[in-house]
Amino acid sequence: MIRLYNQSKLIQKREVLQMIKITKPQVEAELQTFLGAEAYIHSEATSFVFVRNFKVRVTDVFIAGEGPFRAALRFDGHGWLRMEALTHYEADGSGRLLLAGYDDRGRMNVALHLGKEPFPE
Amino acid sequence: MRKLLAVFAHPDDESFICGGTLAKYASEGVDITLVSATRGEMGRRMGNPPYLNRETMAAAREVELRQACECLGIGQLLFLDIRDKTVEFIDEERLTARIETIIHEVNPDVVLTFHETLGGHPDHCAIGKAATAACRRTGHQGALYFITFGDAMARPERYGYTRKDVIRIDVQAHLAAKLAAFRAHRCQTEIDEWVWLPDQEALAKFGRHEYFLKADREAPTRDPYDLF
């Protein structure tokens, strides 16, 4: 007989916030580490589209706005990728920069990830 | 020992849709195996406030699902390692064959999956279609039931079904386990204030029954209130 009714009391609301709010100088510096390099891109906007592991050679990086922020990449001499509504980021220490835009209830609207290696498929 | 196999698409399907029923049968000693096609890594809810990103989500949701399985009494958990939102693009024959293999290994008395058109999400419909085909091939069609949402099948006529196609499970005695499982899936439920109300208030939000559709409509129903 498995009875775990008390578990509902044990699971309390968490208070730690792990994603970091974007500050322009930090994110700009992180973006610049991809300049002139090949990068793998994961990008998505709400539920409508995602692309994963586009490989591009990044030639220019931009971040703009006062929050939420806009970011753009130029790549391969002829390409653009632009996203807006970015709010949070994480540089996860393994050559990956993860930018994301959340609404005020934690739902992700947009994501722009750059990696030196492919993201797990 | 009675055995139940649930073949679903995302972590939380088992808790949100039929958690009371799984908890009920687990409490009666039924051995439950859950197959989750994906790790739900493309979900939009990232905690509230957000603590996940796209790259951390798969591992976090796996941990949350394992905790939910403990809450419900699910003994075995298998992943098919398909990327969230791509189940319908996986080769159908290979997917069916994989589920067939699992059915052979588990040899369940009851199989639960999604209805292939009423599933409500492309991943749900795709895994339901493959699981249904697998059950047909292994001769388990009589054991197969489709999970349904909320009270929709209290009036099955709207969907072209009759009362005799529906099994209604009373989960009143297992709502605490269901609530614990909801809370285990915290990145998905933190946005829903009612889940985090004091236990008695949160429990009052659940319906008393969960409903299942018989896959084999011709088979006689032994008991309209029991899947076994």
Give the minimum alpha-carbon distance from A22 to chain B in angstroms, rounded to a whole number: 14
Task: Report the gap between the CA of A25 and the closest CA in chain B (Å).
Answer: 21
**Confidence (pLDDT) at A18:** 67
Do A17 and A44 touch, CB atoms closer than 8 A?
no
Give the β-pairing of B166-170 and A79-86. Answer: unpaired
Distance of CA B192 to the CA centre of its chain: 20
User: Do B208 and A31 form a contact (C-beta atoms < 8 A)?
Assistant: no
Average model confidence (pLDDT) across chain A:
87
In angstroms, what is the C-alpha Rg of chain B? 17
- More confident site: B221 or B23: B23
- Average the pLDDT over A67-87 and give the result: 95
Which chain B residues are closer than 8 Å to A118 by Cβ?
none
Selecting from B47, B54, B177 the residue whose C-beta is nearest the C-beta of A4 gives: B177
| Cβ–Cβ under 8 Å, residues A85 and A46 | no
User: pTM here?
Assistant: 0.90
**C-alpha span between A22 and A42 (Å, rounded):** 18
Test A42 with B50 for CB contact under 8 angstroms.
no
Per-residue pLDDT band for A94 (boundaries 50, 70, 90) equals confident
Answer yes or no: do B54 and A44 touch at CB < 8 A: yes
Q: Name chain B contacts of A3, Cβ cutoff 8 Å.
A: 27, 177
E strands present in chain B: 3-8, 31-36, 76-79, 110-114, 144-147, 166-170, 209-214
Give percent of chain A above pLDDT 70.
85
- Pick B50's closest partner by Cβ from A4, A10, A106: A106
Segment A47-69 mean pLDDT: 95
- Mean pLDDT throughout B42-58? 94
Q: Judge: A19–B52 Cβ closer than 8 Å, yes or no.
A: yes
List, edge to edge, every strand of the sheet that includes B110-114. Answer: B76-79, B31-36, B3-8, B110-114, B144-147, B209-214, B166-170
What span, in angstroms and rounded, lies between the C-alpha atoms of A98 and B69?
30
Q: Count residue pairs from A and B with Cβ separation < 8 A.
A: 107
pLDDT at B222: 84
The candidate with the shortest Cα–Cα distance to A21, out of A87, A98, A94, is A87
CB-count exposure of residue B157 (10 Å: 0-12, 13-18, 19+): exposed
Specify whether the CB–CB gap between A87 and A67 falls below 8 A: yes
Please give the pLDDT value at position A8: 42
Name chain A contacts of B29, Cβ cutoff 8 Å. Answer: 1
Pick the more confident residue, A19 or B207: B207
Is B38 within 8 Å of B84 (Cβ atoms)? Answer: yes
Residue range B75-99: average pLDDT?
97
pLDDT at B96: 98
Contacts of A113 in chain B (CB under 8 A): 53-55
C-alpha closest to that of B192 among A45, A13, A87, A102: A13
For A36, A58, A72, the CA distances from A77, given in Å and listed in that order, are 11, 9, 14
pLDDT at B224 (0 to 100)? 95
Q: Which residue of A has its CA nearest to B54?
A: A111
User: Is there a contact between A106 and B196 if contact means CB atoms under 8 Å apart?
Assistant: no
pLDDT of B10-22, one tens digit each? 999 999 999 999 9
Cβ of B197: how many Cβ atoms within 10 Å? 14
Residues of chain B positioned with their CB less than 8 A from the CB of A13? 186, 190, 196
Chain B touched by A91 (CB under 8 Å): no
CA-CA-CA-CA torsion for B42, A40, B59, B202, nearest 10 degrees?
-30
- A56 in Cβ contact with A41 (< 8 Å): yes
- What pLDDT, in 10s, does the model give residues B204-214? 999 999 999 99
Q: Is the pLDDT of residue B88 over 50?
A: yes
Query: Which tokens is B138 given?
Result: 């292994």
Q: Using DSSP, state whether B80 is helix, strand or coil.
A: coil
Question: Which residues 1-20 in chain A show a CB within 8 A of chain B?
Answer: 1-5, 7-11, 13-14, 16-19
In chain A, the residue whose alpha carbon lies closest to the alpha carbon of B20 is A5
Q: What is the pLDDT of residue A116?
A: 95
Convert the pLDDT of each residue in B145-184 to its tens digit. Answer: 999 999 999 999 999 999 999 999 999 999 999 999 999 9
